[in-house]
Amino acid sequence: MAEVLFKGNKVHTSGKLPKVGARAPDFRLTRGDLVEVSLQDFAGKKKILSIVHSLDTGTCAASAKAFEARAAQLPGTVILTVSNDLPFAQKRFCEAENIHAVVPLSQMRDRKFGRDYGVEYLDGLLAGLLARAVVVIDENDKVLYTQQGPDTSQEPDYEAVLKAVRG
């Protein structure tokens, strides 16, 4: 269990982010077309997991837009935004915000992702949702970088993520 801040309030998560150098935990998440995907579906690519509470919040929306704006700078990399939002809501958000490069994925059928990545809130106002974090995974599913800010209501350090992807 980790203790993080959300808007200055202490909350607990289901664990800690995966260790750098470790094999990334596999997952089963749902795309907008309701097809389930796993880590294997992105084999051979670097992966940025942008983990958010909900795309229906200001900071999470800003994060998705910021990663969309940087996507062209990252050839061979897929950006996956993971939340508990239903795929229908994720799709509406992406269409409304003109987001095409970022792939939204939902935990709607399997909550294991949040526990395996140590980001499920266990208490507080957002209990059951995901704490904001970023995990960068290489082409062979090795964790290259993790980031969870001092307060998960803040946007990620995008430049540090880009640096991790570029090596």
Single-letter amino acid, residue 158: Y
Distance of CA 109 to the CA centre of its chain: 16
What is the spatial distance between Cα 104 and Cα 29, in angstroms, rounded to a whole number?
Answer: 10
- Residue 40, classed as helix, strand or coil, is helix
The residue behind tokens 């051979």 is 44
> Positive or negative CA dihedral for 135, 136, 142, 146?
negative
Give catalytic residues, as residue numbers: 60
Instruction: Name 54's Cβ contacts closer than 8 Å, sequence gap at least 6.
Output: 60, 83, 84, 85, 129
Where do runs of H (alpha helix) occur along 13-110? 58-70, 87-96
What is the spatial distance between Cα 112 and Cα 126, in angstroms, rounded to a whole number?
Answer: 17
What is the spatial distance between Cα 92 and Cα 104, in angstroms, rounded to a whole number?
Answer: 11
